[in-house]
Amino acid sequence: MSMLSVPIQTDVVVNQLAYNWAVHFHTDQAAASSPPPPKRSRYQHGKPESAARKTKQAKFWWPVPNGILTTERPAKIYLFTDSKVQAWLKFRNLASQWRVERGATSSITAAAMCDAYQKIIGMGPDAIPLIIAQMQSEGDDPDQWFWALQVLTGVDPVAEEDRGDYVKMAAAWIAWAETEEYAG
């Protein structure tokens, strides 16, 4: 029995198979994603396209605590974020509360004793980079974050002659934070 030996270019075969698969795949996808538009009755009011979309609309899954998802819209909407974002949101919220709480006081001590400020200190070392970032964002009108930073870090990088000068004090703390790799 004689055998016919024919050289085959394998790369051509593979490319053709891939091409066939791709054509079939895309054709199937296109068919599935674009159903024929529903016929519109002359007596039908409204837009048939939107009606069709409405029936196919996926249910929204609302997150609630304990990792449960529900299709029923809860009374309270929960925003789940990672812990760093949660800490930042908490810090920003407390900072806003603090500014309201301290009002027109001129006392550095009274401002630091405000409940919201003490809660920022209560966030522990996680608050340090948040305070530094906040201080950086405040530019040439920094707020009184020095008390909290002293408590949280146990250090005070401010030169004696710069006491009370918040711009210079903030610069000293930002320089310290960069050295300690707290600054963003």
**What's the one-letter identity of residue 41?**
S
Residues 100-119 that bind another protein (CB under 8 A): 102-109, 112
Give the torsion sign (CA, 155, 159, 162, 164): positive
By CB under 8 A, residue 34 contacts another protein: no
Q: Which stretch binds another protein (CB under 8 A): 23-31, 32-40, 66-74, 145-153?
A: 145-153
d(C-alpha 60, C-alpha 125), whole Å: 38
Strands of the chain, DSSP E: 62-64, 68-70
- For another protein, which residue of 97, 118, 150, 153 counts as binding (CB under 8 A)? 150
How does DSSP classify residue 154?
Answer: S
Q: Which of 87, 147, 172, 183 binds another protein (CB under 8 A)?
A: 147
- Cα(128)–Cα(145) distance, integer angstroms: 10
Kindly list the distances between the CA atom of residue 59 and the CA atoms of 41, 49, 54, 55, 77, in Å, as whole numbers in the listed order. 28, 19, 11, 10, 16
Residue 102 C-beta: closest distance to another protein, Å: 7
Contact range with another protein by CB under 8 A, out of 53-61, 124-132, 157-165, 175-183: 157-165
CB 154 within 8 A of CB 129: no
Residues 44-103 that bind another protein (CB under 8 A): 102-103
With CB under 8 A as the contact rule, the residue among 48, 119, 126, 143 that binds another protein is 143
Q: Does 166 bind another protein (CB under 8 A)?
A: yes
Count residues binding another protein (CB under 8 A).
Answer: 24
Binding footprint of another protein on the chain (CB under 8 A): 102-109, 112, 141-144, 146-147, 150, 156, 158, 163-167, 169
